[in-house]
Chain A
């Protein structure tokens, strides 16, 4: 998270103040910034480790392919290699997200992570289409499976490697709040499903039940579609600037309890990549000086950083309590028709 002001002029530059706004308490804010950076690092590490696991899985499969000479297995292995590549845009997004804000991207590059998520969801959707197509084509053109034992071993290896990666990515993604990393974990899980389908199909064929292969393939297609639905919904929500309503309630309640805040008019929270950014409109006594109002805001900010995990930035806008019923924001008020947050 960039907190430095980007202008380079040094005359009367309120850098200290700005810093104190964005990193209001040296210790807390530093913790918060560090936490954000650490989250990106954790995400990167999850990607690297899981890429390693997938590479080992693929190498084992290649060895089995060489030993068995099975063309069907070869295509599954190539699929595994190709699918691991969704980690590339995601890694790029984690790296981009740590870059400071610019004049064009005034909120930083955090949202590139969610766009990487779109790419991952599209890849899962294509995978499900391919799996469905293959299952249907095998239904009409059943083919013999040779070297059933090898196929089963390779399938189990593929399933184990992918599921391991899936659990690791999903867990890390949930912890650091990255919807895209969770989606990539789900992607690995669907690849594991596909390998499992190969195993079940091969067992069926070995038992002389030819229809098992396409039937399992169709079941797996449906399972992948269910997974893609969940992942797509999460990424869509991030792109929509949607957020858990409980979070808005929590922040509203915390702000309402801060001394010096008379009322909480609006709270807006959104995800930028794996960070939460909040913006609050509160009222306070109009006779306070800005410095005093700033102290109130700092106090509120402090509470929020302690109590809301993954919150990276808070902007608190205090306006005077309106006595005459004249809303100072009448001009723009109807653009933010707020939920009842008072």
Chain B
């Protein structure tokens, strides 16, 4: 359900959008900024009421939401950095900053899981009390609503501009909504006369956090390891082979942030001139760009096919 990266970025959209980076980044900045403000407000309301009620589940949920704001700051930094042009020290540009920011997001999710688990176990063993249940339930409901709105917004923008990091961030907000729902259920159960329910709900929510953390980390790690969906490599090779004059093609690909870099090693008849191979290459670049919409740069390396 929370697969990121390759699956998400497969969404087809018109090729002209691929190169519209300025607009993409503007959208990303706005999405992150609006979300951060919304989440900060939600988290602060929850925090105040958590202190009032003594609900550990709500406290964890509030701190979790506030940690999201710092996560957003990390993602924002990633987008800002990735805008920089390539230089002698960064010959491939700065787009990997987004992947590193994604790694930061993953680390925050794991830290949230550890924290939520610790708080829940502590409350369970110490038989902590919960008061002012009506306020607590209201705060948890606000938590659910705030997070759902933010998650939906980020996911929509993230998919449109093909940002794995932004979608990762949306997953995190979605998980926050789930954790708020857990806090809500726990508080309702406490109201029904089960004082330990708050802590148990906290533990269940921790399990969800661990699950999402696991999946988000896998995708970010695959990007950082230069991993790509093999289907994507295969379709780039098929596209290259369909160009007349290409006898054999060997493709390598990797992600840098939201950009897929594709390298096509194409074998053409040995007698061809460099000029002719270049013309073939231009056709290959167009074919690969059409077959693999996520490709932002295609590097063509013509090779002489042995007789």
Residues of A within 8 A of B (CB): 5, 12-14, 16-18, 21, 101-107, 109, 111-112, 114-115, 118, 122, 236, 239-245, 248-249, 266-270, 272, 279, 281, 284-291, 293-294, 315-320, 328, 331-332, 334-339, 341
Contacts and interface: CB of A to CB of B under 8 A. Distances in A.
A104 B229 contact: yes
Contacts of A243: 89-91
A287 B303 contact: no
Residue from A112, A267, A320 whose CB has the most chain B CB atoms within 10 Å: A320
B166 interface: no
Contacts of A317: 299-301
B76 interface: no
22 contacts: A14-B303, A17-B303, A103-B233, A106-B254, A107-B252, A236-B100, A239-B96, A239-B224, A241-B96, A244-B89, A245-B87, A245-B88, A286-B273, A286-B278, A290-B268, A290-B303, A315-B265, A315-B299, A317-B300, A332-B296, A339-B86, A339-B91
B207 interface: no
A50 B273 CA distance: 55
B91 A338 contact: yes
Contacts of B281: 319, 328
Nearest to A322: B278
Given A106-B251, A279-B299, A339-B91, A14 B306 contact: yes
Contacts of A16: 306
Nearest to B94: A240
Nearest to B97: A240
Contacts, number: 174
B304 interface: yes
Nearest to A122: B107
B87 A106 contact: no
Given A245-B89, A335-B259, A288 B274 contact: yes
B298 A332 contact: yes
B272 interface: yes
Nearest to A15: B306
A260 B281 CA distance: 21
Dominant secondary structure at the A interface: mixed
Contact of A328 (B251, B282, B301, B304): B282
A104 to B, nearest CB: 5
A290 B286 CA distance: 21
B99 A239 contact: yes
Interface string B284-307: 011001000000111111111110
B275 A286 contact: yes
Nearest to B91: A268
Contacts of B277: 290
A240 B226 CA distance: 12
Contacts of B63: none
A144 B280 CA distance: 79
Closest 8 pairs between A and B when the two form their complex, measured CB to CB: A245-B88, A286-B275, A103-B230, A106-B252, A268-B91, A339-B88, A290-B304, A337-B85
A13 B249 CA distance: 11
A12 B247 contact: yes
Contacts of A291: 270-271, 304
A338 B282 contact: no
B225 interface: yes
B233 to A, nearest CB: 6
Contacts of B263: 279, 315
Contact of B250 (A18, A107, A266, A279): A18
A12 B247 CA distance: 9
A318 B274 contact: yes
B91 A112 contact: no
B197 interface: no
B92 A290 contact: no
B230 A331 contact: no
A334 B296 CA distance: 10
Contacts of A12: 247-248, 305
B79 interface: no
Given A12-B248, A104-B230, A320-B274, A17 B224 contact: no
Nearest to A281: B299
A129 to B, nearest CB: 13
A5 B274 contact: no
A94 B274 CA distance: 39
B221 interface: yes
B4 interface: no
A294 B92 contact: no
B218 interface: no
A336 B85 CA distance: 8
